[in-house]
């Protein structure tokens, strides 16, 4: 079967920056994978058994015993306090169906987030400590991910009601509310591309949250669904953003035109350094599920107008849970025609819930619209999109 190999160690200045780990299929057997790691830095991919770990590799063991070797052929001292071997991303026992029946998620691994740790969205610097906000609807409790050959499946659970928004009533001074279900993705395992999560006010408790390139999102607005869409943070200024729109629309996007434009034949995505404030945002249309030849994208904006796409979702009866399906093809391809998301790659995933404050518990006569709230779980690092039947 397929197994993920992880290691933990105590970092120190005299440790090797290229400690070589190799996995074998049995003693003296064929090499399954190898990696050099910097042991002057602390492992930080995930926490388990009271320690922090780094995912080294995912390997396929066909027979015999999995052997993991660390040698001293390095530029400093090497150490392995422990090695962890675990089955790689087990598939759910049943296929996920987006129908509001969450029993098919039972066998998917659960990641948890502390209760009542939602916070404001006004902090955007590394190391900031955002202020607590009393907004149970965005209090993320647990989250899950799985996939099949063509789609991501995401699951969120919250203390309050996911997607609940205030309906605009100007006569009574009520503004339209906004709610976002967000999965932010590092698609290339490169911290130099994309943007750091804290720029968007997303704080996980982990400092290593840089390099996030793309989002899959659902927005609810004014009491109803607005859009299911994709985003890319691959621009740092207006000129780079203009180029991104041109690339992704085959040159059809009208710069300085309306924010909602299309549909266009999909172009390509360049995964580049970016920032939170400069992004493209689109819905993907599968006009004929049997072929991609006539697929289209429409660039969309927050707060409408409503544009339907291929991202689908369903709530639990009490709205405390949401499940969503996000097709890989909606992330588009690169300039060489390679899918941005495809089976066989590793991705980092960050789960967030965010909403305006009208239905939170910080509403007062002095602050009738409350306070924006957000909650982000610890990233799922090195999620392996393993082949599935």
User: 294-341, pLDDT tens digit by residue?
Assistant: 899 999 999 989 998 999 999 999 999 999 999 999 999 999 999 999
Distances (CA, A) of 8 to 43, 50, 88, 126, 360: 6, 11, 18, 25, 41
Instruction: Please report the pLDDT score of residue 295 as a whole number.
Output: 95
Lowest mean pLDDT among 62-71, 140-149, 318-327, 357-366: 62-71
Higher pLDDT pick, 109 / 236 = 236
Structure token pair of residue 133: 């906000």
The predicted-structure confidence for 233-257, as pLDDT tens digits, reads as follows 999 999 999 999 999 999 999 999 9
What is the C-alpha to C-alpha distance for residues 199 and 180, in angstroms, rounded to an integer? 17
Q: What is the pTM of this model?
A: 0.81
Higher pLDDT pick, 213 / 108 = 213
Instruction: Please report the pLDDT score of residue 54 as a whole number.
Output: 86
What is the C-alpha to C-alpha distance for residues 364 and 281, in angstroms, rounded to an integer? 34
Work out the average pLDDT over 209-227: 96
The pLDDT confidence band at residue 64, using thresholds 50, 70 and 90, is confident
pLDDT over 90 (residue 287):
no
**How far is CA 247 from its chain centroid?**
23
What is the pLDDT of the chain when averaged over all its residues?
A: 92
Instruction: Please report the pLDDT score of residue 383 as a whole number.
Output: 86
Work out the average pLDDT over 270-276: 97
Q: Where are the domains of the chain?
A: 2-87, 102-384
Structure token pair of residue 311: 């991202």
Instruction: Please report the pLDDT score of residue 109 as a whole number.
Output: 87
Lowest mean pLDDT among 48-52, 114-118, 222-226, 304-308: 48-52
pLDDT over 80 (residue 291):
no
Instruction: Please report the pLDDT score of residue 208 as a whole number.
Output: 60
The predicted-structure confidence for 91-104, as pLDDT tens digits, reads as follows 666 789 999 999 99
Instruction: Please report the pLDDT score of residue 176 as a whole number.
Output: 97
What is the C-alpha to C-alpha distance for residues 267 and 335, in angstroms, rounded to an integer? 8
Question: 340: which residues sit within 8 A by CB, 6+ positions away?
Answer: 187, 214, 269, 271, 331, 332, 333, 334
Percent of the chain with pLDDT over 70: 97
Lowest mean pLDDT among 31-35, 60-64, 258-262: 60-64
What is the C-alpha to C-alpha distance for residues 139 and 118, in angstroms, rounded to an integer? 5
pLDDT over 70 (residue 48):
no
Work out the average pLDDT over 192-213: 87
Instruction: Please report the pLDDT score of residue 206 as a whole number.
Output: 66
**Distance, first Cα to last Cα, the chain:** 14
pLDDT over 80 (residue 384):
yes
Work out the average pLDDT over 254-271: 96
Instruction: Please report the pLDDT score of residue 91 as a whole number.
Output: 66
The predicted-structure confidence for 148-187, as pLDDT tens digits, reads as follows 999 999 999 999 999 999 999 999 999 999 999 999 999 9
The pLDDT confidence band at residue 293, using thresholds 50, 70 and 90, is confident
Instruction: Please report the pLDDT score of residue 153 as a whole number.
Output: 98
In this structure, are residues 281 and 253 in contact, taking their beta carbons and an 8 Å threshold? no
Residues 262/266/272/277 CA torsion (nearest 10 deg): 20
Instruction: Please report the pLDDT score of residue 59 as a whole number.
Output: 86
pLDDT over 70 (residue 26):
yes
Instruction: Please report the pLDDT score of residue 2 as a whole number.
Output: 80
């Amino acid at each position: 079967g397929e197994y993920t190999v992880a290691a933990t160690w105590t970092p120190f200045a005299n440790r090797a920056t290229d400690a070589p780990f190799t996995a074998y299929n049995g003693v003296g057997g064929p090499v399954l994978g190898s990696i050099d790691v910097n042991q002057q830095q602390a492992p930080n991919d995930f926490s388990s058994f009271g320690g922090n770990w780094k995912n080294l590799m995912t390997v396929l063991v066909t027979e015999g015993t999995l052997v993991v070797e660390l040698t001293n052929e390095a530029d400093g001292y090497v150490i392995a306090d422990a090695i962890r071997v675990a089955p790689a991303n087990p598939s759910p026992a049943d296929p996920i169906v987006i129908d509001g029946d969450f029993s098919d998620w039972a066998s998917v691994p659960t990641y948890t987030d502390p209760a009542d740790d939602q916070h404001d969205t006004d902090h955007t610097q590394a190391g900031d400590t955002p202020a607590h906000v009393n907004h149970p609807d965005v209090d993320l409790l647990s989250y899950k991910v799985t996939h099949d050959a063509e789609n991501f499946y995401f699951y969120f659970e919250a203390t309050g009601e996911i997607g609940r928004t205030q309906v605009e009533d100007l006569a009574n001074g009520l503004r339209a509310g906004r709610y976002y279900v967000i999965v932010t993705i590092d698609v290339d395992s490169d911290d130099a591309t994309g943007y750091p999560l804290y720029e968007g006010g997303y704080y996980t408790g982990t400092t290593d949250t840089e390099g996030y390139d793309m989002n899959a999102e659902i927005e609810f607005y004014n009491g109803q669904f607005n859009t299911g869409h994709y985003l890319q943070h691959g621009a740092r200024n207006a000129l780079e953003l203009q180029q991104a729109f041109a690339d992704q629309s085959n040159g059809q996007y009208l710069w300085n035109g309306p924010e909602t434009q299309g549909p266009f034949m999909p172009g390509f995505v360049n995964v580049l350094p970016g920032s939170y404030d400069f992004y493209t945002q689109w819905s993907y249309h599968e006009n004929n599920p049997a072929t991609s030849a006539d697929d289209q994208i429409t660039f969309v904006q927050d707060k409408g107008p409503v544009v339907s796409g291929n991202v689908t979702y369903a709530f639990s009866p009490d709205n405390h849970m949401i499940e969503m399906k996000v097709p890989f093809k909606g992330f588009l391809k690169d300039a060489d025609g390679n899918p941005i998301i495809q089976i066989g790659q590793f991705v980092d995933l960050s789960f967030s819930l965010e909403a305006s404050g009208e239905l939170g518990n910080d509403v007062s006569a002095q602050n009738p619209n409350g306070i924006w709230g957000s909650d982000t779980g610890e990233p799922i690092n090195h999620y392996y999109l393993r082949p599935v039947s």
